[in-house]
Chains A and B, each alone.
Chain A
Amino acid sequence: MCLSDRGLFSGYTAGPFYDEMFSAQGCARSHYARLFEKLGVMAPTQFEDRRKHADLSFLLQGITFTVYSDGRGTERLFPFDLIPRILPQAEWARIEAGLSQRVVALNLFLQDVYGKQLILKDRKIPSSLVYSCRHFRREMIGLEVPHGIYTHVCGIDLVRDSSTGEFLVLEDNVRTPSGISYVLENRLVMTRTFPEAFQEHEVLPVNHYPAELSRILRTLSPRTDPDAQIVLLTPGIHNSAYFEHSFLAQQMGIELVEGRDLIVDGVVVYMKTIYGLKRVDVIYRRVDDDFLDPLCFRSDSMLGVPGLMGAYRAGNVALANTPGNGVADDKAIYAYVPTLIHYYLGEDPILRSVETYLCDRSDHLSHVLSNLPSLVVKSVGESGGYGMLMGPSAAHAEIEAFREKILADPRNFIAQPIVPLSVVPSYDSAARCMAGRHVDLRPYCLYDGQEVTIVPGGLTRVALQAGSLVVNSSQGGGSKDTWILRGEC
């Protein structure tokens, strides 16, 4: 089944990038064949109708996020594209194995770096690199965390390199990764919009995520009480992911609280309720480390709970994710993750990382400075696509400004070659046709200390602007439903 002048796809060409849907010859890949057949015969107006239907579903459910950088703090709908990103189960199995390996290694690294620091003593990773991480929390050194778990929830960003067709890890997010609510909602909207497609495809389900997260949170409770109190701590309605916080709390049947709803008496955390104080056992916190406890961290935080770290240290409350995880997803530490995997697991990394230059290494720095127009430069402690330079699309003045920034604080920057991301056909509503748009993939990994559970697929983010490689929702990206097809290889 190949591209020809077929309805919705008329005029579509795969272009120079790896196309997730079509082979280089313009034929639908086998795992996309049935969908292509179906969409191919669809008239553009029919497709438009379904698209409007889907948009309305998102609007009515209030699925939004907030953009910070434009100063308007506006809540937006998260743009959704109807063409799913499909992966065969065999390919997914390899990704899953690679992610599990990575999550376990990152957890071991955090245990070590806040514990015996063997990897530093063995000089496998510079201790100056660890100690200079902005998110390395000295307050966590020597603190024994429940069941030794740090990385309860990880979102690991993958991209497919068009030049090799191989999936690479782009970055790890092990602090308070967000986006899973879109995975669940996207699936819901897709099943409503294309119900027949789900009859024709055996798409692995994703809706067990809240139950699995809830199970893991429950195992962390310091009390064996079956009524252990689990809460989700949100910074509040102004946070970009507030929708997700309320969504997950509702899905898991737990209380959604803000810092002011909790109080620490001695070394026990309580929730203020109309029935009086109720003891809290587990906090799934979506408040950043800095703001978690004004006594321990930033004293100007109005979002946190003073004394919380004391209760945590005393073992009276569990926190997920563990404070201090930011040292593991620092973009300079990222360059050492293959080393961590070798060191802790004695294995070769299943998923490769993107080649990374550390600006505080003089040999790397000179390479970076002389190749800025062809590199992407990232600030090590930032996430969400903030504080980044895309060399090829940047103006000369922007590049020069970044050069100054790098020279002023080399430890704060890393650089990578631009990875030519793969594309998935996406509907361009202005041009009313399909066009290839770059995508990444963020699977969500849950770790209970024994096993890593990953809901099949994850969030496929798509750069909806033609040619753009930046998929972050904060930078104008959208998303797609991600299908892992059972039995396909």
Chain B
Amino acid sequence: MNRFHLLHATEFIYDGPVYESYNEVRLRPIHDDRQSCLSFRLITSPASRGSSYKDGYGNWIHVTSILAPHRRLRIEAESVVLVHEAPVPEPGSMPLSGLDAVRADLLEEHFDWLAPSAYVPYLPEIAEISKTAEAGCDGTVAGFAETASDFIHNSFVYQKGATHVNSSVRDSLALRAGVCQDFAHLLLGVVRMRGLPARYVSGYIVSGSATAGTKQEEVIGGQASHAWAEVFLPGSGWIGFDPTLGKPIGLRHIRVAYGRDYGDVPPVRGVYKGRAGQSLSVDVRFRPALDDSGHEQIAEAKSESDHSGGSIPERPQQHSQQ
């Protein structure tokens, strides 16, 4: 079990004044039987009136609104998360050939996780990868998903800036390169086309240095937002695969939101009025919430944070105080 304190700051700087700015924020880590979100606070500057709700996939969405003109918007999400051991496939995983018999049932149960989506269309190139993975695996659904993930990890180059946030798998297939978002989309396409439900996971990967007591480890993508995929393996349930890292999901993966693809779960999405361009910076910091000698650091973290903005409560219909 790992316990992390994380601070995710998003800052928009505008060329000129903007107003009537509304944002949907998906930054609250998932709270379920594999991960506990012990605390979550969202602070905006300028201060914002807001509300929050849980969407159909179980993600928390916070909505902020700032009417007055501003040139800078900072959104800070602070959370404390407990990460438990990730589940692994049950031994004796179902053979791939067994999928045909349950295809219709899976489609009924998991339509959104099987259908092609905006970022993950069904393409012949993806079907090719699917065939390669099937030929190279042990013939089980678990083996197939793992082989597919490894294949993507080994055949595509992790390259920052190769693609952009709106790139679909078409771009990364053409470039044979991409970032974690693209790697996750590729894996979604490969397993979905073979008939396995799969969902996009938006979250974080914590680098080794932030994990007290664990060996320092280089993480591709750095200390920042991360994305991977979870595949529904009949008999085992939802199992995560990280094609960017090429390693199993562990105690350093923090899940924030599930979607059909990136389009369902951008961390911050919004609209504003005003004729101004924007630049964006994102800064994510982690530290173990317990230090090496076991001292609680959460209180200290709170006192450090900037209270100039209003905080957004988690329950709808309440207004924040500035």
Contact = CB atoms under 8 A, between A and B. Distances in A.
A128 interface: yes
Contacts of A127: 108-109, 111
Given A263-B20, A267-B316, A294-B271, A314 B67 contact: no
A120 B111 CA distance: 12
A132 B107 CA distance: 11
A310 B63 contact: yes
Interface string A158-176: 0000000000000000000
A307 interface: yes
A295 B108 contact: no
Contacts of A138: 55-57, 112
A32 B72 CA distance: 72
A76 B24 CA distance: 42
A266 B49 contact: yes
Given A295-B270, A307-B22, A142 B54 contact: yes
A393 interface: no
Contact of A123 (B67, B108, B319): B108
A139 interface: yes
A266 B316 CA distance: 10
A266 B271 contact: no
Contact of A306 (B20, B50, B51): B20
Interface in A111-145: 120, 123, 126-128, 131-132, 138-139, 141-142
Interface string B49-89: 11101111100000101010000000000000000000000
A116 to B, nearest CB: 13
Given A266-B51, A267-B316, A307 B63 contact: yes
Given A267-B49, A294-B271, A306 B22 contact: yes
Contacts, number: 71
Q: How large is the interface on A (under 10, 10 to 19, 20 to 34, 35 or more residues)?
A: 20 to 34
Nearest to A137: B56
B303 interface: no
Given A307-B65, A313-B316, A142 B56 contact: yes
Given A263-B67, A266-B50, A315-B317, A131 B112 contact: yes
Nearest to A310: B63
Interface string B261-272: 000000001110
A408 B198 CA distance: 24
Interface in B101-117: 107-109, 111-112, 115
A265 interface: yes
Nearest to B23: A295
A330 to B, nearest CB: 15
14 contacts: A126-B108, A127-B109, A128-B107, A131-B112, A138-B57, A141-B55, A142-B54, A142-B56, A267-B317, A294-B271, A295-B269, A295-B271, A310-B51, A313-B53
Interface of B: 20, 22-24, 49-51, 53-57, 63, 65, 67, 107-109, 111-112, 115, 269-271, 316-317, 319
Interface of A: 120, 123, 126-128, 131-132, 138-139, 141-142, 263-267, 294-296, 299, 306-307, 310, 313-316
